Amino acid sequence: MRSGRNISGQLLPYTYEGSAPTKRESFYGPLMVPTAIRSSMKNSETPSINIDRLRANMLKLGQIGRHEGGGLCRLGFTNEDMEARRWLMETIDSAGGIARLDGAGNVIGRWFDGENAPVVLGSHIDSVMGGGLFDGTLGVLAGVECARAVAESAFVPKRPLEIVAFADEEGRFGGMFGVQAFIGQITPDWLERAVDPEGVRLCEAMAAQGLEPMAALSAARRPEDIHAFLELHIEQGPVLEAENRRIGVVEGISGIFKWMVHLRGRANHAGTSPMHLRSDAFMGLADFAHEIPRILDEEGSEGSRLTVGKVELLPGNPHTVPGEVVFSLVGRDIDPAVLQRLADACQRVLSAIARKKGLHFEYSQLSWLEPQRCHPEVIESFLQAARNLGEDPLLMPSGAGHDTQFMAKLTRAGMIFVPSVAGISHAPDELTHWTDVELGAQVLLRALVDWIK
């Protein structure tokens, strides 16, 4: 492992520690602010975001993993991902915190020592192939800026503050590895079996970066270790822009079920098979797609989603009636009862279509994530912070998965959104205006102060 310097200049290793250090073994020490920061301290009791500094850090990190095809490529546990983590640790150190890497590869920065449980801010800095500048990164670097803003003000926090950049949030190896390790959901068997779509094993990828895979088991924190978790994220959708709102306060994160569905009929010659005598698997899918709006109207809610995103027709010959169709079906809703109703309705409709069309129907459930409500106290602190800044925040669900949905199982957790231009994300032209970035970071900071005062 590489070593770094603490805020007084002493060399420290980036250790594989999972639980918060006890007072006896703590290497954090009392808060000491470096001269470069101390010289610029404000007398104000109210910390404030420095958007120029936050923007500069966002752009610097955005140079790591730039992809020649456009956008970023910092897949979990690749060289680019680890370079970004090293840069982040150095940035935390220079901002007055102390950085370490836990056993799961999560970067953790800490400011303000004390015996009280810390408030944690964070998100992730890994990306999808061809990802954008803001996804995940905003929540991490806005957290660093919040910590630095507090350190530069006359405000004296009563709780420590931690910033976490969770490893492999984008799911190269399935799930959200870093945050699941953080809350204690990772097992030795999971570590051994996890592979990416190219067949690379998680254990191999971690070892190639000098990490001990089984050390991920030490990353687990206890509920009493964390006072609250706050996350800032881009919306990755069009709702805030359409509603002309600049802040979204997330009330909960949608649950998700993912199926692979098989409809099997009979392949036959497309020229000699009369239409009324065919057992066409594709027509079964077409009928089901036509039924999706009705299922949503009868069983869903305003926030329900059903998506057929991947389809394979077999044998795949232009002159052959498809004998089999394999397709993905993903359902989402914030209410667990509604999510179950959607799944039950999809099963009933597919069964009925299969009988009518003379097809065989079966499906395998690849995953089922329960919806997760954000904590009412965190929601209220975000709403109040936004209103105090003159904004009218929109209380809204999150259709995408985020680290908050796992952290909510461990502690009081919640998140806020800022608008994504045209709703675009996971793409090179992902964009959030810097004025909205600044506002989101200010809301995060105002809420944070309420939790550490």
Does the pLDDT of residue 37 top 70, yes or no?
no
Give the total number of structural domains in the chain.
2
Rounded alpha-carbon distances, angstroms, from residue 385 to 3, 123, 248, 448 = 38, 20, 12, 9
109 shares a domain with 207? yes
Name residue 230's amino acid: L
422 shares a domain with 302? no
Which of 280-289, 364-373, 433-442 has the lowest average pLDDT? Answer: 364-373
Reference 133, options 55, 36, 33; nearest CA is 55
Does the pLDDT of residue 6 top 80, yes or no?
no
The pLDDT > 70 percentage for the chain reads 90
More confident residue, 141 or 400: 141
pTM of the entire predicted model: 0.83
In angstroms, the CA 295 to CA 387 distance is: 38
Domain that holds residue 174: 3-253+371-452
**CATH number reported for the structural domain that contains residue 223 in this entry:** 3.40.630.10
The pLDDT > 90 percentage for the chain reads 85
Look-up of token digits 């881009």: 234
347 shares a domain with 388? no
pLDDT at 1: 37
For 9-12, the CB contacts below 8 A with 24+ separation are: 12/98, 12/100
pLDDT at 401: 84
Q: Which residues contact 382 (CB under 8 A, 6 or more apart)?
A: 230, 247, 249, 393, 414, 416, 443, 447
The DSSP result for 37-71, as a single string, is: HHTT----SS----HHHHHHHHHHHTTTTB-TTSS
Name residue 207's amino acid: A
Residue pair 288/262 in contact (Cβ under 8 Å)? The answer is no
Does the pLDDT of residue 30 top 80, yes or no?
no
Does the pLDDT of residue 227 top 60, yes or no?
yes
In angstroms, the CA 432 to CA 155 distance is: 30
429 shares a domain with 332? no
Length of the chain (residues): 453
- Helix then strand then coil, in percent of the chain rounded to 5, is 35, 20, 40
Kindly give the residue spans of alpha helices, DSSP state H, lying in 300-375. 336-357
Q: Calculate mean pLDDT across residues 195-203.
A: 94
Q: Which residues contact 294 (CB under 8 A, 6 or more apart)?
A: none
225 shares a domain with 314? no
Does the pLDDT of residue 38 top 80, yes or no?
no
176 shares a domain with 88? yes
- Which of 328, 353, 369 is the last residue in one of the domains? 369
Rounded alpha-carbon distances, angstroms, from residue 178 to 185, 213, 216, 366, 434 = 10, 12, 8, 20, 28
pLDDT at 44: 60
pLDDT at 217: 97
Instruction: Provide the token pair at 421.
Output: 């231009």
More confident residue, 37 or 406: 406
Residue pair 310/260 in contact (Cβ under 8 Å)? The answer is no
64 shares a domain with 78? yes
246 shares a domain with 195? yes
164 shares a domain with 18? yes
Average pLDDT, the chain: 90
pLDDT at 35: 35
Kindly give the residue spans of alpha helices, DSSP state H, lying in 62-114. 79-94
pLDDT tens digits, 305-359 = 999 999 999 999 999 999 999 999 999 999 999 999 999 999 999 999 999 999 9
Q: Are β-strands 228-234 and 119-124 bridged in parallel, bridged antiparallel, or unpaired?
A: parallel
Does the pLDDT of residue 80 top 90, yes or no?
yes
In angstroms, the CA 181 to CA 194 distance is: 13
pLDDT at 323: 97
Give the model's confidence band at 140: pLDDT under 50 very low, under 70 low, under 90 confident, else very high. Answer: very high
- Which of 369, 386, 418 is the last residue in one of the domains? 369
Angle between helices 281-299 and 336-357 (to 10 degrees): 150
pLDDT tens digits, 158-180 = 999 999 999 999 999 988 999 99
- Which of 369, 395, 423 is the last residue in one of the domains? 369
Q: Calculate mean pLDDT across residues 388-404.
A: 94
225 shares a domain with 134? yes
88 shares a domain with 15? yes
Q: Are β-strands 248-253 and 412-418 bridged in parallel, bridged antiparallel, or unpaired?
A: antiparallel
The count of other CB atoms within 10 Å of the CB of residue 135 is 27
Half-sphere exposure of 450 (CA within 13 A, CB side): 19
165 shares a domain with 42? yes
Rounded alpha-carbon distances, angstroms, from residue 296 to 290, 301, 356 = 11, 7, 22
**CATH number reported for the structural domain that contains residue 269 in this entry:** 3.30.70.360
